[in-house]
Structure 1
Amino acid sequence: MENYTYNSFTLQLEGIKVTEVSMYPVFLFFFFSYLFIMFANVGIVVLVSIDKSLQQPMYLLFCNLPLNDILGNSIMVPRLLVDMLVPPSERLISYYECVVQAFTTHMFGTTSHTVLMIMAFDRYVAICNPLRYTTIMSNKMVIKLTVSAWGVAFVLVAILLGLTIRLKRCRTLIANPFCDNASLFKLSCESVFINNVYGLTFTVVLFTASIGSMVLTYAKITIVCLTSKNKSLNSKALKTCSTHLFVYLIMSSCGLLIIILHRFPLYSDYRKLSSILFHIIPGSLNPIIYGVQSKEIRKFMSNVFQSRKVFPSF
């Protein structure tokens, strides 16, 4: 008969399952990926903050993505690295820390969608209403869109975790490399029907709104480009929209892979690895994609390197 521990405030993380041979290569991969994520994303935020030419609505809205990547990875990856170096029996986490980690994890995924949605709106205004762009995308509008992106995500995730916190716990093992909502409500011996219904509704509404806004936005942009003979406008649309769309496809593909693998218990180890890569891959690629595509960012970095050549260090 299974032993139960009721409402324990000390939980055990399963962690990531790796062999002794592959442990250190995997550890180094996650470690250097985390360092790159921090360096690249903090660099983007600092760059936009100090360079006035980058303080445009497009870049100000984009800064939400680096901030989200920094927050999401800082809560999850360092803890994962520590757990990889200790025996499974010592991978302990307090209940409150687990709830915070779960909240941050879901905020990361939800905010990724909402931020890309407001960025799509910015691209729509820039291409479909270029003469009114500066009027519509004022500083006040940028603030409203940013608050909306984070606020909607906060409310949705707060309800998600609130429904889980109300449950009494009778187990202590988190069957995941890190804490998330599903792992937490599976600790309960009570009915989790409401949690499953809200979780499914949450996912469907988020993906429907996200995909719907992208389809609608890009359909209108495509129509404008096809009916316009302005080569400059079409070139600008292709450049800015391809970057945004590529970032969205990467994020959505990683998220959908996790959802699909949830339906196949035999591939639980692959699902757990995918849930980690959902944080690492977008966080690593986003600054590279925008850095390569952005003329302003490339110009700034070129000036920095040229100044170093003119003033070599002694």
Structure 2
Amino acid sequence: MMENFTYNSLTLQLEGLNVSKDSLYPAFLFFFFSYLFIMVANVGIAFLVFIDKNLHQPMYLLFCNLPFNDILGNSIMVPRLLVDMMQPPSERLISYYECIVQAFTTHMFGTTSHTVLMIMAFDRYVAICNPLRYATIMTNKMVIKLTVSAWGVAFVLVGILLGLTIRLNRCRTLITNPYCDNASLFKLSCESVFINNVYGLTFTVVLFTASVGTIVLTYTKITVVCLTSKNKSLNSKALKTCSTHLIVYLIMIFNGMSIITLHRFPKYSFYRKLSTVLFHIIPGSLNPIIYGLQSAEIRKFFLKMFQSKRILPSIKI
């Protein structure tokens, strides 16, 4: 494919996800129904937490950050991907400014997934290791502070990341990715991207170290408390809530590591592109299922709904 060398062009070309003619419609339907499920499930869970007063607890209020993040991250990426899949490669055009917004949102999604799971780990640590002080520590004010911190830190880190890229002049127009991200944007430049690479690497290392460090530290302390405690109900509750949180975290880490690993093997570029798309879709689909199935309160709400629906048809006027 020939690249169009245009200096600071405001129209860019997306390489997109190139699938064979035989696989086009199955792939399109898979992404379409995945997106539909993500929207319905995440909006449903967030709405449920909002309307049910029994769920107005720090654990669920902090969890609401995940559905919001999944909705935002997938809404910017998936609809655009679906449109591009149905167009020939030469017509997959995107404006430079739309590309920046997409890149910013994509990196916000990835970063906030880490920071939100970190504040959720802190909540589980306080609940299990300091149960008597939980109500005084995890106040509404603390929930707001933790939420603002999770989004604020991500906003600043990603803002600097994209700011360093925006300053560069561009001499290429082809984005070699299914959607815009920071790396594919700074690769359009013919200037030195040394600072971008250094900051990008530092950003990734700091985020992963802080994220993994927080999870390891809090879960080690939670494990110690559970092993030394003879309270079976406490241990059972801790195991349920913590296993849920840990499964979600491990899925996210596995997805992220797959993309980083596949970057080292250019011949598997299609699988790398596919994994970058699945990085959005898999957590967005699994988070509401995992939390919905594990939460007794959420299950009770749905049981009440189904029971009321069964009773209503039997009432005759």
Q: TM-score, normalised by structure 1?
A: 0.98
Distance 1:64 1:170 in 2: 39
- Residues 1:55 and 2:43 are matched in the alignment: no
1:36 equivalent to 2:48? Answer no
List runs of 5+ in structure 1 lacking aligned partners.
none
Other-structure match for 2:275 = 274
Q: Distance in 1 between matches of 2:90 and 2:310?
A: 53
Give the C-alpha shift of residue 259 in structure 1: 0.7
Amino acid at match of 2:13: Q
SS at match of 2:313: coil
Equivalent-residue separation in structure 2 for 1:98 and 1:2 (angstroms): 18
RMSD of aligned Cα (Å): 1.3
Q: Deviations over 1:42-90 (max 9, x none)?
A: 0000000000000100000000000000000000000000001111111
Matched, 1:153 2:154: yes
The answer for the alignment partner of 1:226 in structure 2 is 227
Shift in Å at residue 270 of structure 1?
0.7
How far off its partner does 1:2 sit?
7.2
- 1:256 matched to which residue of 2? 257
What is the distance in 1 between the residues matched to 2:301 and 2:123? 23
Is the partner of 2:7 in helix, strand or coil? Answer: coil
Q: Are 1:140 and 2:148 an aligned pair?
A: no
8 Å contact from structure 2 (residues 4, 174) kept in 1: no
**What corresponds to 1:104 in structure 2?**
105
Report if aligned partners of 2:172, 2:189 keep a CA contact under 8 Å in 1. yes
Q: Where in structure 2 are the equivalents of 1:1-314 lying within 5 Å?
A: 4-312=5-313
Verify the 8 A CA contact 2:244 2:291 in the aligned structure 1: yes
Q: Deviations over 1:234-279 (max 9, x none)?
A: 1111011000000000011000110111111111111100000000
Q: Give structure 2 stretches of 5+ with no counterpart.
A: none
Distance 1:213 1:4 in 2: 45
Deviation at 1:190, TM superposition (A): 0.3
Distance 1:260 1:312 in 2: 55
Aligned partners of 2:7 and 2:77: how far apart in 1?
26
Q: Give 3-state SS (helix, strand or coil) of 2:103's partner.
A: helix
Summarize deviations over 1:109-133 as a string: whole Å, max 9, x none.
0000000000000000000000000
**Matches of 1:103 and 1:59 in 2, distance apart?**
27
- Give the CA deviation at 1:312: 3.1
Change in Cα spacing, 1:251 to 1:160, as seen in structure 2 (3 Å) is same
**Higher mean displacement: 226-235 or 58-67:** 226-235
Matches of 2:303 and 2:264 in 1, distance apart?
48
Report the Cα offset of residue 221 of structure 1: 0.5
Whole-Å Cα distance in 2 between the matches of residues 140 and 161 of structure 1?
31
- One-letter code aligned to 1:267: Y
Aligned-partner SS, 2:192: coil
**1:140 alignment partner, SS class:** helix
The alignment's TM-score, normalised by the length of structure 2, stands at: 0.97
The amino acid of 2:139's aligned partner reads S
In the alignment, the residues of structure 1 paired with residue 140 and residue 313 of structure 2 have an alpha-carbon distance, to the nearest angstrom, of 39
Using the TM superposition, give the Cα deviation of residue 3 of structure 1 relative to its aligned residue in structure 2, in angstroms: 5.3
Deviation per residue, 1:204-233 (Å, 9 max, x gap): 000000000000000000111111111111
CA distance in 1, matches of 2:4, 2:181: 23
Q: Distance in 2 between matches of 1:13 and 1:2?
A: 11
Give me the whole-angstrom Cα distance separating, in 2, the residues matched to 1:14 and 1:312: 53
Q: What is the letter of the counterpart of residue 7 of structure 1? A: N
Task: Tell me: CA distance 1:312–1:17, structure 2 relative to 1, closer, same or farther (3 Å).
Answer: same
1:115-156 CA deviation, whole Å, 9 max, x = no partner? 000000000000000000000000000000000000000000
CA distance in 2, matches of 1:246, 1:2: 42
